[in-house]
Amino acid sequence: MGKRISEETKNQIPILYSQLHSQAKVAEKLQISVSTVRKYLNLYEATPTKEQPKSPEKVQSPEINQDLINQINTLYSQCRNMSQVGRELNISTSIVKKHLTEENLNYKKKELEDRDALWYYIYRLFGQYSEDKPVSDWNIVQMQKFKRQGIPYRGQLLTLKYFYEVEKHDIERSNGSIGIIPWAIKRAESYYRELAKRTDEMEKAIERQLEQDRIEIKYNPSNYIGKKRKKRLIDINELEEE
């Protein structure tokens, strides 16, 4: 039976590979086999499987015209990734960002807010990872990996909240990893769809009741809420009678 790989060693594989760009060097540093390194890189899909990284292509400054700006915004609205738009159009990320429409810029801002909300939730969920790393490198790798696979940061956050707050799973069994997200997201989506449906039905029921009440009840709430009531005048004749 082969040597069991610890969770910490698994977490270090994609991180070291991104620094060393060599499966052999990662294997040597972690004292495991190259085949084990290759296995977990393929499993995590966190890095390319080739040993040598591709040299970045030279990006030339293009002529900025309306057609290019339209292409930038159309592609960004489809992939929501400025780096990918830059690669496809052979332009820099800074040019992409400079020419995004206000709508696309607002989406990017919202995406960053969702990313931060997810990061903070992971921090609160598992506690501080180490003295200099509030959230583990491996969880950050997974956040980005799941996003590339089509699970937005907001979807990841809602899935974790569903898994731990609704289904009440034991946090200790997670080994401090958010790896459950791809396996729990379908159940989470079903739960939130049903929740949205019930909320919509309740809002419609309230609207129908309001329309009915306005017809059937003769009083107007505006006459009784937020208005000072007039003081009753004292009749002197009443006092004399007493």
Show the tokens assigned to 171: 């946090």
Cβ count near 232 (within 10 Å): 6
- pLDDT, tens digit, for every residue of 34-46? 778 777 777 765 4
What is residue 80's three-state secondary structure? coil
Residue 162 falls inside a structural domain: no
Complete DSSP assignment for 171-184:
GGGGTT--TTHHHH
Residue 199 falls inside a structural domain: no
Count: domains in the chain:
1
CA atoms within 13 Å, Cβ hemisphere of 220: 3
pTM score, two decimals?
0.57
| Mean pLDDT rounded to a whole number for the chain | 83
Residues 70, 89 contacting (CB under 8 angstroms):
no
- Ranges of H-type helices in the chain: 7-20, 23-30, 34-44, 66-79, 82-89, 93-98, 102-126, 137-148, 153-161, 181-216, 236-241
Rounded to a whole number, what is the distance in angstroms from the first to the last CA of the chain? 106
Residue 26 falls inside a structural domain: yes
Residue 96 falls inside a structural domain: no
Q: What is the pLDDT of residue 1?
A: 46
| Number of residues assigned to the chain | 242
Residue 235 falls inside a structural domain: no
- What does DSSP assign to residue 45? T
Residue 37 falls inside a structural domain: yes
- pLDDT, tens digit, for every residue of 90-131? 898 889 888 888 888 888 888 889 999 999 999 999 999 999
Which range is least confidently modeled, 22-31, 41-50, 181-190, 214-223? 41-50
Domain holding 15, by residue range, is 7-44
Residue 221 falls inside a structural domain: no
Residues 160, 131 contacting (CB under 8 angstroms):
no
Buried b / exposed e over 170-205, threshold 16 CB at 10 Å, is: eeeebebbbeebeebbeebeebbeeeeeeeeeeeee
Residue 13 falls inside a structural domain: yes
